Structures are given as C-alpha cells and as structure tokens.
Structure 1
Amino acid sequence: MEFKGTTDPIAAEGWIRSLEIIFDFMQLTDADKVRCTIFMLRDDARVWWEGARLTVDLATLTWAEFKEAFYAKYFTVDHKTRLARDFLELRQGDLTVAEYVRRFERGCYFVPMITSQPGEELKHFTEGLRPAICHDVRLSRVTTFREAVDQSLMSERDRNKMVKEAQNKKLSYKGRDQQEPGKKKSIPGQYPGK
C-alpha cells in the first residue's frame, strides 16, 4: 500500500487510517509503525520525507510525531479548517439519508467540539436533515445519533415507498383511461342499443 503523495488531504488521511488499522491488527510498536510507513513512501512523498527526516531524530521518532509531520505536509490547518466549515454548513439537500450520514460521519472527525457532546451531535445531525425527513424523525423519542440515523433511514424508505405507490396508481389509472379509443365504456346495468 504505497503512498506517492497527493494534493487531496482526505486521501492522505485515509492512507494513514488504513495503515493504523493494519498496525493495530499486527500490534506493531511505534518504531515499527514508523519504519513500515517510511518504507511505503514513493515519488513525491519520498522526496518530502528525505527533507523532513533531517528535522527529526529517527531513533526516538514516535508514531504520533511522524503523523504530526505527515499531516503538516499533507493535511494542513487550512484544509482542516475548510473541512470543519463544510461540516458545520452540511445539509442533506438532495442527498439520500445514507449519503448525508456518510458525509456527516466523515465531518465529525474534524469538529470534535460537536461530536464529543452527544446532544450537540444529535442536534447538528437533525438540523441538517431535509424538513420532511426531520419532521418524521420522532425527535422527542430519539436520544442518540444512531437512533436518529435509523429513524431517518426508515422515514426515507417509507416516503420513497409512498411515492412509488402513488406513481403506480397514477400509471394504472392512465392505462385504464387510454383503453381502445372510440369505444364507449359500458356502465353496469345499461343495455346497449336502448
């Protein structure tokens, strides 16, 4: 899993997170994490590291210190600020609930002041929902973010089902109205020719 460098901070951060999952599974020490990560740097990332290594003591470099240097290069304060602002302005709009939840959960990482307080997290999530979905979510009964997500997904599913049923009814009525043009519909109890 090489890293060649990127201008996309989300890709850089995703790479580090992927490594951390592997490192946790393998139960590596800090020194092993750093050595393994340095080994996987290629191209522009390798050039960056060649300069960065002159400012650190490799013998005592911790994983946290390596990540700090890495993020200073690939995940600047400006990027974090922009992502935090995007999260604070996040609204469902035309997104499905699942897409909104994915973006919300991604943004939570950048705004710990909200996500460290379950009540604030729940409030921010529900305020960003489309009004129709938000209205359906039983806010008085929902006490956690997970419950709000479940309620929102159910609400969207039910609304989509109702829309589909209404469209099917409309199509079936349209189909009956367009039966054999020119032929008069008979009304039960009426006799033709009288």
Structure 2
Amino acid sequence: MAQNMDTHYPEEAEYWLNWVTKLLRPLHCTEAESVELLSYLFEKEADLWWESVLRTIPEGYEWTWEALEARFNEKYLPQTYQHERENEFLRLQQGGMTVAQYENRFTELSRYASEMIASEAIQMRQFLAGLRSSIRSKMCCAIIRTYAELVELSTRAE
C-alpha cells in the first residue's frame, strides 16, 4: 500500500522519498527499474508533475536514480527549505526538550548540515553546544570518546 505524499509540505515529500527508497532497496532493482517503480507511486499533483517532466525529456533518455532524485528535490525540496533546516540545525538548543528529544531533533536536522559536522568530534561539539548549560557543565571533566557516549552521559546527567 503506497504511503501518500503531501506535495505542499517539503518535509512530507522528503519522508515519502526516503520511504520509497527504503522500500525499493531490498528488491535489488536496476536503476532504471527503480526509477520506473517510483514513477508508478506518484499520485495526484506529483503524477501530473512527473508527466510534465517526461514531456520535456528527449525520447530514449535513460533516467538514473540520481537524476530523478535531483528533479524531485528541485520541485519538492527547494533550496530555501534545505537552508532553513540547516540554519535550524546550527541554532538548535535543547531548551525544554529531554536529551532524547533533543538528540532525535539533532539527528533529524544533521542531514542538512552533513558537511558542517564532517567528523564525529565536530558532531559532538555541536551537540554539546546545544545542551542546556546545567547538563553541559556536568560534561566538562568527563572523558568522552564517541557521540554515543556523549548522548548517554547527557541523558544520565539530566
């Protein structure tokens, strides 16, 4: 059963594409088969959009997954949306969230800033910077080697 994609909300479109990608992975399809299967899952506005894209492509054009994903992202995940999520990640603070909630949001938004947290050390520094000061201060003397350790210690310090 296909999961519906709400084309008015970039986040929904992104989750939908991730869902489809995950669905196709165990089928071990060729790239062309994956593109064709994905195109069958488009509904309503997305189906109309896809048909309009196909009309502009020369006959015999061989779609790659990367090309389809790029077109999809141009339409449903505009650069402004991606930049907003990146900025949200950079400004993320724990505030009233539990450490688990903060870590979930941190992980969710980190995909928009992957080049900014290219190493685990930078990822840890960014996570630590967003923690409430009462938790962050308890981390100052701890020897923390991994991101998972940092999250675990932060949760215990809560």
How does the TM-score come out when normalised to structure 1?
0.75
Say if 2:86 and 2:109, in contact at 8 Å, map to a contact too. Answer: yes
* 3-state DSSP of counterpart to 1:82: helix
Match of 2:54 in 1: 53
- Write out aligned runs for 1:137-176 (5 A): 137=139, 140-156=142-158
* 3-state DSSP of counterpart to 1:91: coil
Q: Deviations over 1:62-108 (max 9, x none)?
A: 01100000000000101000000000000000011111001100111
Match of 2:81 in 1: 79
Percent of pairs identical after alignment?
Answer: 25
Q: Give ranges in structure 2 of 5+ residues lacking alignment.
A: none
Q: CA RMSD in A?
A: 1.6
Moved more, 107-116 or 60-69: 107-116
Separation (CA, whole Å) in 2 of partners of 1:118 and 1:128: 16
Separation (CA, whole Å) in 1 of partners of 2:150 and 2:3: 38
Say if 1:2 and 1:42, in contact at 8 Å, map to a contact too. Answer: no
Displacement after TM superposition at 1:56 (Å): 3.2
Query: Whose relative contact order is higher, 1 or 2, with alpha carbons under 8 Å and at least 6 apart?
Result: 2
Separation (CA, whole Å) in 2 of partners of 1:139 and 1:90: 24
How does the TM-score come out when normalised to structure 2?
0.91
Match of 1:188 in 2: none
Separation (CA, whole Å) in 2 of partners of 1:141 and 1:34: 47
- Write out aligned runs for 1:26-175 (5 A): 26-57=27-58, 59-137=61-139, 140-156=142-158
Bigger helix fraction? 2
Separation (CA, whole Å) in 2 of partners of 1:77 and 1:97: 29
Separation (CA, whole Å) in 2 of partners of 1:154 and 1:140: 13
Separation (CA, whole Å) in 2 of partners of 1:31 and 1:62: 6
